[in-house]
Amino acid sequence: MIQRTLVLFKPDALDRGIVGEIITRFERIGANIVGLKLLVSEKDTASQHYTDDITKRRGEHVRNLLIEMLTSGPIVAMVVEGVEIVEIVRKMIGATEPRQAAPGTIRGDYAHVSYGHADEKGIAVFNLIHASATPEEAATEISVWFKPEELVSRESSYTKFTIKK
Ligand code: ADP
């Protein structure tokens, strides 16, 4: 039940200076940060992250835009751990298109742009943050961005207290 998921703060989140504020949201739900780093991504790493799956779902053009966007400036990569955390973090970030993301979600609270706007400008839709969609995707994505020794083990408030049966 305890899972790890990958979160990326894309260059637009760093440009906006809201990384700390968003990290607070993950800490606030009691999830544990077990990996965190600031980096400028190589093209190769971004291509390993945005795989053929994106091409199938969104087309080659969008994949190329995403790789260009992700490598355009500093990003923050983070691994978050918690109970059923993959699903929870996806709920917290909200819909892919900020225009449709519900208020209260990260994309809904901090962004507002649309696919139409991105198309018109010939850019990827700026939605601040990426999070793995499934536990399997999380395992693959964590290994793209982190070496095992870069991740820590932490005692968690959600596992600390057990009731004797
Ligand atoms: P999510 O990030 O919500 O899991 P996807 O994996 O489908 O969404 O897409 C990856 C990223 O590609 C999105 O976060 C967004 O930045 C960008 N994107 C998706 N579709 C489009 C599109 N039609 N035009 C521009 N950018 C897009």
- Render pLDDT for 123-165 as a digit per residue (tens, 0 to 9): 999 999 999 999 999 999 999 999 999 999 998 877 776 677 7
- Render pLDDT for 22-77 as a digit per residue (tens, 0 to 9): 999 999 999 999 999 999 999 999 999 999 999 999 999 999 999 999 999 999 99
Reply yes or no on whether 130 is catalytic.
yes
Catalogue all structural domains in the chain, each as residue range(s) with its CATH number.
Answer: 2-133+144-151 (3.30.70.141)
Comparing 158 with 21, the larger pLDDT belongs to 21
Question: What is the separation of C-alpha 64 from the centre of its chain, rounded to a whole number of angstroms?
Answer: 18
The span from the CA of 85 to the CA of 90, in Å, is: 8
Q: Which residues neighbour 25 within 8 Å (Cβ) at sequence distance 6 or greater?
A: 92, 106
- Of 66, 91, 110, best ligand 1 pocket probe by most atoms within 8 Å of the beta carbon: 66
